[in-house]
Each structure stands twice: as C-alpha cells, then as structure tokens.
Structure 1
Amino acid sequence: MKQIELDDRIIHGAISLEHKGEYVKPWRINYKEKDFYTPNQLNGQAEVPAGVRISFLSNTDKIKLEIAPSPLELEFDILIDNELFRTIVVDANKTFLEAADLPNQTKRLDIYLSQRNKVELKALWIAEDASFQPFNDTRKKWMTYGSSITQCYLAESPSQTWPAITAKELDLNLVCLGYSGECQYEPMTARMIRDTSVDFIHLNASINSYNAETYNHRTFQAVVIGFIKIIREKHKNVPIVLSSSIYGAHRETTENIVGFTLAQMRDEVEEVINIFRKNGDERIFYINGLDIFGAEHGYLLPDNLHPNAEGYKLMGQNFANAFKPYIK
C-alpha cells in the first residue's frame, strides 16, 4: 500500500492541525492560541473532532488509517460519494482501522472522525496502484456553534449528527463548533469565527447558559450581542442564523439560580435578533428551537436534555428545511 500525506488538503472541518511528532491532531480552535480558550481548551472539547473528516478522490479498493492509541473506544464512518458505507468501531488502545472491500471505481471517500473522543492521526494508506486526488471542497462553508446538542454524542455515528445530516441535505462544507457544555459565548470563540472564511453562520444560544447559570437577565443579551458584533467586524454580509434552545423538558418553566427559565431565555434570544434588524442588519435571522424539536418530541430525550440518535436525525432534517431560505 502507499501512504498519503495527512494535511489540510484532505482534512476538512478542522480549525487547525497540530503536528506532534508522527501524529496529526485536528483541533476545533486555533491550537496555537489554546491557552486562551479557558478553562483547559473548553474543558477538552476543542480536541474532539466532531464534524472533521478526511476527504479524497480515489479508485482504491482498500484503505487503512493509523491512529494514536486511545484509552477509549473510537468510532469512524466511511462514506462513498457522500453515502454511508460502513461504521467502524476501534477498540480501546487499538491503533488502526481498515476496509478492504471498497468498490474499485473512482469515488469520493470521506472518513468521519469520532464526535465523542479526541483522535490523533498517524498515517493513511491506499492501494499501491490506486489513483489519488485531494477533494477540493468548493461548496459553501457553513459554521455552526452550539453545545453538546450540536456535538451530538448520542448520534448513531459520526456522520449521523444533526449538523452532518443538514450539511448533506444542503450540500454544505461543514465546520462544527459544537462544544459539550461549553457554548458560553466567549469572546475568543467569537474572534475565531470572525477570522475564519465562511459563507453561512449558525449560532445556538441558551441551554449551556441555563444549565451552568452563567448569565442573568442583566448580562445574557449583552453577551450574545457582543459575540455577534465581533463576528460582524469582518463577516459584514454573511447570513447569520441565531436559534434558541430546543425543547428542554422541566427547564421550560423551572427557574435556575439566576432566575431564568428556558422559555424566558428563548424570548430574549429572539429579542436580540429584533435589535439587530431594527438597527439595519438585514442578514441576521431567528429560528425558534421549538420549531426544530418541540415538546411533542420529548420522548426522544432519554435524559430529558439530549436527543437520542433518532432525535438527531429529526433535527438534521428540520434544520435543513429551516436554513434553506438563508443559503443563497
């Protein structure tokens, strides 16, 4: 087999790549500034490669991907021409995955990395006599920022998260900034979005701030407004969709320590959009999270917070339908 270099020509969906000796580590922040993403690189979530994939064109009938040993089980998806071919589970401390029965015609191959645990890549191999070409993704780049509900730990597999499903439906180049527990609207994340070339931005607000009781009625809107203002410093005409939380069970009517219910936070998120539009921003839009996943879908929340695999598939389809008017 012949080795293919692992670099940004074929690794898509990462913000940066760290070269660590023989390994390449995808990050969903700029790793050179990682110390500024407190605490601990967003509590380790920036290292988890949700939405990151290796993409190339080849007629190879086999592939092998070497990885660093992990103390945790890792899951990968192989897609052929944007359709799921196989999910491969790599046991803890194992160092490779492979598939030896691929169709031998020229095709686009995507290897989606785990959305649950960090992955360090060592080497990619294809058949010795196979053709190879990096996938030049010219589709519109979409960046989505959110919580664990955007990282999608409980999705059936890495390519079946709601952002991946939405990206497939709308033919978008996905960059997923779903950080479990860490969607707190920090200025460093706003700066990163501002400084990244992108065609369409989606931001989700409220569930992490509700659960962590981060902001109160005095501070919540101000933080969200400031976050968007930072993004608008460079992305002046890029469509931004701000969505509120999906259905949150008891949180809808139960006040947290700072006096917020999730329903109240949803109202404040919508008011943020009204403020921007009143002041001349006609490229910012609101989606009510209940229109994506409402009370009628509560049976798909096994822990009364996170959707299960079926719930994420539903969200993927509903977000695709909701985003269509804003992607032009």
Structure 2
Amino acid sequence: MGGDPLWTGYRHRAVDPDGWTTFWRLDPREQPFELHDWLGRPDRPGHRLWSRAATPAGVRATWRTSAASVRLEIRAALDIYQEIAPVDFLVGGELHRRCPVEPGEQVIAVELPGTSVELEIWLPQGGAIGVRDVSFDGEAEPLPPIGPRWITYGSSITQCTGAYGPSETWPALVARRHGWDLVGLGLGGECHLDPIAARTIRDTPARLISLCLGINIYGGETFSGRTLPGQVESFVSTVRDGHPHTPIVVITPLPAPNLEGKPNAVGLTLDDIRGCVELGARTLRDPDLQLIDGRTVLSTEEAQRLYADDLHPGPDGYRLIADRLAPRLTLPL
C-alpha cells in the first residue's frame, strides 16, 4: 500500500524536506487544502479526523535479519489526546522489546539475537509520529506483507491507545493470530461514517472488512434516529462498490455500563444506536454481510471490571476483545 516496499498498513506516505515520513491512514491528497497549514488550525471542522489519520496505528514493517542491533530514528509529538504510545519490536512473532517514545526527535536502539530472525517493528498507535530511518549493523532484507488483507474501521476502541503497545491492540492481536495483513482504521473520536473513510475502504483491496459503528455517533450526537440508518446504508454501499463479494462484518457498540439508557442530545440511547446501525445494515439485504451485537463481545460485568473509564477498555480488555472476535472474524473457504 502507498508505494513503500518497507512499511504496510497505511494509505499515503508523505515525506517532508528533512526526510521525515508521515504515514496517513486516509489519503490527504483528496482534500482541497494545504495540510500542514490546516492541521495547525484545531478550530477547523475535521481537524481531529486528520490528526487521527496521521497516527500510524497498525503501521509496521518486517525484515529477515542476522544483525546484532537495529536503530529506529523517530520523531514524536503529543496529539490531541496527549498520548504517545510505545514502539514494539517483535522477534519471531513474540514481543522482544517495548520502547517508550518521548516528545521530540530520538533514536531507539535495540539489541537483536544476531542470528537469522524475523523482526517486526510496530509504530505507535498514539501520538503524532514521523519516521526517518531504520538501520541495522548487519544484513537485513525487507519482507513484504503476507496473508490476506483485513481492513477494520472504528473508533478509539479500534485504535486502542490504551493497549499495552501497538502489537497488542485488539486488531493487531487478531491479525497476528490469523496471519492477516492488517489495515487498521481506528480513528479515535472520529468514526462518524465520513465519506473519505468509505472511499478508502472501497479502494483498498481486502479479503475481509469489519466496521465497528456507533459509539462515536452516540457521543458526538452526529445523526438522529431519522438519519442514522440511511447513513449506515450509504457507507456500507460505498464500501460494497469496491468489494462486490468481500465479507463485511458490522459490529454495534460494546456495552458501556454507565452510559446505557442515557439519551444523548438527539434523544438516542446506545440501544437506539445499535438498532439504527442494524437497520441500516440489514436494509441492504446483503448475503455477504454479517452483524455482531457488541454486547456479545463483552458482558456488562466484564466491561465494569476491564474498562479504564466509562467507555474505553484497559489493556486486558483489548486482549479479551481479541479473544472474542478472533473466532468470529473469519475468511470464507
């Protein structure tokens, strides 16, 4: 994806004059503005969407290497959520080192076994991140992504800034378990059925697509009971235009015990949101579309125990979500 043979999991790669690469998970070239100027204006509508799209959640690269060490040159800044996640280094599919990332430019050096191993670097799932160089003190061959591509779209619960690290978000755990090539479109606070998200999914080849819809629409009071079913129908229809027979899984909001039963400003409870999402998805009468009720992924009791706040799972909650969804997200034979 994006024309870079090294990294995967993004839509567009932008390199500034100093050589710093930003991995965009939505394509900013579709927008009629100068992004660097525009991103400096948090008062502009949509600022948060593009801030989230520039966070490299799910972006990673793999090498076969016998080097004794690797160095990653990375730049980080606090984003609108004031969080910078770590970088994960995996050897042979297992966590080798998890390295914190501080604001500013830095070089992260990690010792390796020095024998032939497969190394994965997963970039932070939180923060404004740039990458300039990856270097080894020995032989290293970049490996292309393998396995069927899976796209998953959702909110902060799909971006998972509160996971232990980028290789332990629930999408990363599911993808690693199945051997899939993940494209993670978790956009914290910004899962509002934006047309550019639908077009991105439509135009990206995939063998499986999952859409976790509703929680940001509840919190942002984005649509009413009159408009939400049609917006879901339109979003899924756009996705389907590019994927005539690809399985699509629509997941309604997980339980939020302290918010259940409370109408938002447009009068919708979370149950109402679930019903509207289901109605919009079922209107298509699509035989390749599956619905998952988010309340079957975690129970209310599990949510009360594993949530870090009224809405977001903690690290062990994301692990449990992966355990529950992994057997339900499957490819056709």
Task: Please indicate, yes or no, whether the TM-score normalized by the shorter chain is above 0.5.
Answer: yes
Are positions 1:90 and 2:101 aligned together? yes
List structure 1 runs of 4+ shifted beyond 3 angstroms.
Answer: 34-38, 69-74
Q: Do the aligned partners of 1:74 and 1:92 also contact (CA within 8 Å) in 2?
A: no
Instruction: Output aligned runs, 1:13-52, within 5 Å.
Output: 13-21=9-17, 22-35=19-32, 39-40=46-47, 42-52=49-59
Q: CA RMSD in A?
A: 1.9
Which 10-residue stretch deviates more, 43-52 or 306-315? 43-52
| Superposition pairs of residues 95-106 of structure 1, within 5 angstroms | 95-100=106-111, 102-106=112-116
The secondary structure found in structure 1 opposite 2:124 is coil
Matches of 1:159 and 1:55 in 2, distance apart? Answer: 13
Alignment-derived partner of residue 39 in structure 2: none
Q: CA deviation at 1:96?
A: 1.0
Gaps of 5+ in 1: 1-6
CA displacement at 1:261 relative to structure 2: 0.7
TM-superposed CA distance for 1:290, in Å, is 0.9
What's 1:299 paired with? 305
Instruction: Say if 2:288 is the partner of 1:288.
Output: no
Aligned to 1:3: none
Q: Secondary structure at the match of 1:166?
A: helix
TM-score (norm 1): 0.91
User: Is 2:156 aligned against 1:145?
Assistant: no
Q: SS state of the match for residue 128, structure 2?
A: coil
Residue 134 of structure 2: aligned partner: 124
1:231 counterpart residue number: 239
Query: In 1, Cα distance between the equivalents of 2:50 and 2:66?
Result: 40
Matched residue type, 2:99: I
Alignment of 1:1-328 (within 5 A): 8-21=4-17, 22-35=19-32, 39-40=46-47, 42-68=49-75, 70=77, 73-100=84-111, 102-127=112-137, 130-277=138-285, 281-297=286-302, 298-324=304-330, 326-328=331-333
Distance 2:152 2:202 in 1: 13
User: 1:61 Cα deviation (Å)?
Assistant: 1.5
Q: Is the 8 A contact 2:203 2:242 kept in 1?
A: yes
Distance 1:161 1:69, change over 3 A: closer
Equivalent position of 1:4 in the other structure: none
Alpha-carbon separation, structure 2, partners of 1:83 and 1:34: 39
Higher mean C-alpha deviation, range 223-232 or range 38-47? 38-47
**TM-aligned CA deviation for residue 186 of structure 1:** 1.1
Mapped contact 1:23–1:120 kept (Cα < 8 A): yes
User: Matched residue of 1:315: which SS?
Assistant: helix
| Deviation sequence 1:133-192 (CA, Å, 0-9, x none) | 221223000000000000101101111111101111111111100001100001111111
What SS does the corresponding residue of 1:321 show, helix, strand or coil?
coil
Moved more, 61-70 or 158-167: 61-70
